[in-house]
């Protein structure tokens, strides 16, 4: 079909070949509503047939089925010719001469190499998660965007379906060009992930590459730190073995993300990754307001949101286990702006769909470790290793006559894992495996203590305290003692350590020094 002068083209035939089937049935229904012929590869075809949609096998256009265990199924002129043919009279004539059908829409996503690599970097089947056919289809459709549209992420489906409704089954040239750019960004990032995963380690974690090249990420942000500021994320392109592979994000519902959403998300995910047990983190303005670990995600969520009922308003939350079995009911009455999950059941998605303002994300951890961090200052890009150092029992130096109980030691370890993600100066109060008060971003440590104790209220009595850096004066310890804190974990290293320790001793507080700090600015 030759595009009109406005660049709009109607769609007559679509090829669907997806690994992640999220939203593909709903999209196919939208296509079918406009009598767009559906062609699908085997796995996608089963999903569409299960939804009673009249899809036909893609292999009818190739005649080869699947070769070599599925490695070759879409790499065929029967598909690629129909995608790449110019939408001109000459192109149409050549299609007819070769008995090929034009394909106007390609819907594709790729095998999850990054996810498999994260599970096991040495998995014997790792190479089977390198997508060839899907990437080729995406690139072919993107190249020929003058006459073909390409969708490479479920995030794009809703807006595309809306345009179909507005354009009576067609899409504009601007949309096709934008989708093509997104497709090339996605294939580029995918190739970089594979290159990073397959590259032999060439540098130690303390060595920095001489050259970094960043390319525009496919993620679109609504705005920057404030609505009047534009923002755009970039991902590392070179060198291929630099350990800065981005976390995978898939928006399941809600508006596009903002700059601050990504900052909050970085903090929430960093926190829940600290815990091997089910955990939930509540974050506002990129600092934790409530964190808990429990036997189940429901228990963790209930405890985390209970830490600070005021500060949690409009928060971001992440969990480190799939959301199932009505666990989202734990958030009843809590205004959540963003919720990040590794996986979620259809029932939970339906439940959360009632929250019209909620941004729901499915996240895939980055495969490469160690994690590096970057931020800008004075026209420079600052890059540092992520803080992944773990506190060991041997590093705890008892400096008071009273030792902590086993329960207090466990709570101190929990509080330390949280305080390293709060903004300096930072203090965290915890009981068991739940926070009860967080004080962060304060110019003085005593103010951080007072804020944490104020949030905790009566819950501070019997709680333990972790501090991200040393106490410069005994006033912070005295404030904690007045609130009823029984044990403190802090780096030490102040000139007034003897006075600080004496204050803890006077109030019967068990105090431990780690010897290293965890600042976060």
Q: Under a CB-based contact definition with an 8 Å cutoff, are residues 2 and 87 in contact?
A: yes
Q: Which of 12, 143, 188, 447 is catalytic?
A: 143
Phi, psi of 105 (to 5 degrees): -145, 130
Q: Which of 12, 32, 188, 285 is catalytic?
A: 285
Rounded Cα–Cα distance for residues 255 and 260 (Å)? 13
72: β partners: 67
Work out whether the CA dihedral 450, 453, 454, 458 comes out positive or negative: negative
DSSP-assigned letter for residue 257? P
Q: Does 359 participate in catalysis according to the annotation?
A: no
Structure tokens that stand for 413 in this block: 């370890």
Q: How far is CA 288 from CA 135, 284, 334, 423, in A?
A: 39, 6, 16, 9
Whether cis (ω within 30° of 0) applies to the bond prior to 370 is yes
Residue with the two structure tokens 């009576």: 168
Whether cis (ω within 30° of 0) applies to the bond prior to 397 is no
- Longest distance between any two alpha carbons in the chain, whole Å: 94
Structure tokens that stand for 514 in this block: 């780690």
Whether cis (ω within 30° of 0) applies to the bond prior to 351 is no
DSSP-assigned letter for residue 52? T
Q: Does 285 participate in catalysis according to the annotation?
A: yes
Structure tokens that stand for 347 in this block: 């029932």
Q: How far is CA 344 from CA 3, 316, 355, 362, in A?
A: 41, 17, 15, 8
Q: What is the 3-state secondary structure (H, E, C) of 350-410?
A: HHHCCCCCCEEEEEECCCCCCCEEEEEECCEEEEEECCCCCCCHHHCEECCCCCCCHHHHH
Give the chain's count of helices (H) and strands (E).
15, 23
Rounded Cα–Cα distance for residues 478 and 484 (Å)? 10
Work out whether the CA dihedral 388, 393, 397, 400 comes out positive or negative: positive
Q: What angle do CA 338, 159, 37 make, to 5 degrees?
A: 135
SS3 306: helix
Cα Rg for the chain, rounded, in angstroms?
Answer: 27
List alpha helices for 167-235, DSSP H. Answer: 173-198
Work out whether the CA dihedral 149, 154, 156, 158 comes out positive or negative: positive
Which of 311-338 are b and which e, b meaning 16 or more Cβ less than 10 Å from the residue's Cβ? bbeebbbbbbbebbeebbebbeebebbb
Which residues are annotated as catalytic?
143, 285
């Amino acid at each position: 079909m030759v595009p009109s002068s406005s660049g709009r083209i109607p769609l007559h035939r679509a090829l669907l070949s997806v690994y992640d089937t999220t939203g593909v049935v709903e999209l196919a229904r939208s296509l079918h509503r406009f009598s767009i012929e559906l062609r699908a590869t085997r796995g996608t075809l089963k999903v569409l047939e299960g939804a009673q949609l009249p899809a036909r096998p893609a292999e009818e256009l190739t005649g080869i089925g699947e070769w070599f265990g599925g490695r070759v199924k879409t790499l065929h002129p029967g598909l690629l010719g129909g995608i790449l043919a110019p939408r001109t009279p000459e192109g149409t004539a050549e299609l007819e001469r070769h008995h090929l059908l034009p394909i106007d829409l390609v819907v594709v996503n790729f095998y999850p190499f990054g996810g498999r690599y994260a599970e096991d970097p040495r998995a014997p089947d790792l190479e089977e998660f390198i997508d060839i056919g899907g990437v080729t289809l995406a690139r072919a459709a993107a190249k020929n965007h003058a006459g073909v549209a390409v969708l490479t992420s479920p995030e794009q489906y809703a807006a595309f379906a809306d345009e179909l409704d507005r354009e009576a089954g067609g899409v504009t040239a601007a949309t096709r060009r934008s989708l093509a750019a997104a497709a090339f960004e996605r294939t580029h990032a995918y190739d970089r992930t594979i290159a990073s995963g397959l590259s032999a380690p060439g540098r130690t974690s303390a060595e920095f590459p001489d050259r970094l090249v960043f390319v525009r990420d496919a993620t679109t942000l609504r705005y920057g730190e404030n609505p009047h500021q534009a923002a755009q994320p970039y991902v590392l392109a070179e060198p291929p073995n630099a350990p800065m592979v981005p976390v995978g994000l898939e928006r399941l519902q809600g508006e596009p993300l903002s700059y601050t959403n990504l900052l909050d998300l970085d903090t929430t995910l960093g926190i829940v990754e600290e815990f091997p047990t089910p955990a939930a983190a509540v974050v506002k303005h990129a600092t934790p307001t409530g964190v808990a670990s429990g036997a189940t995600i429901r228990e963790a969520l209930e405890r985390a949101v209970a830490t600070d009922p005021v500060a949690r308003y409009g928060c971001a939350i992440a969990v480190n286990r799939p959301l199932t079995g009505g666990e989202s009911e734990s958030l009843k009455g809590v205004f959540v702006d963003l919720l990040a999950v590794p996986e979620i059941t259809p029932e939970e998605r339906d439940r959360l769909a009632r929250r019209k303002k909620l941004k729901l994300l499915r996240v895939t951890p980055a495969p490469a470790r160690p994690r590096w961090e970057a931020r800008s200052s004075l026209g420079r890009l600052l890059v540092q290793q992520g803080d992944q150092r773990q506190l060991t029992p041997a590093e705890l130096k008892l400096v008071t006559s009273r030792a902590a109980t086993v329960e207090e030691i466990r709570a101190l370890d929990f509080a330390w894992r949280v305080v390293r993600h709060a903004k300096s100066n930072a203090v965290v109060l915890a009981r068991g495996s739940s926070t009860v008060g967080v004080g962060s971003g304060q110019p003085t440590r005593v103010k951080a203590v007072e804020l944490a104790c104020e949030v905790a209220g009566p819950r501070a009595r019997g709680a333990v305290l972790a501090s991200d850096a040393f106490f410069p004066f005994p006033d912070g310890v005295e404030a904690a003692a007045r609130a009823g804190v029984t044990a403190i974990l802090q780096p030490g290293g102040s000139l007034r350590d003897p006075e600080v320790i004496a204050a803890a001793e006077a109030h019967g507080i068990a105090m431990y020094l780690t010897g290293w700090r965890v600042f976060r600015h």
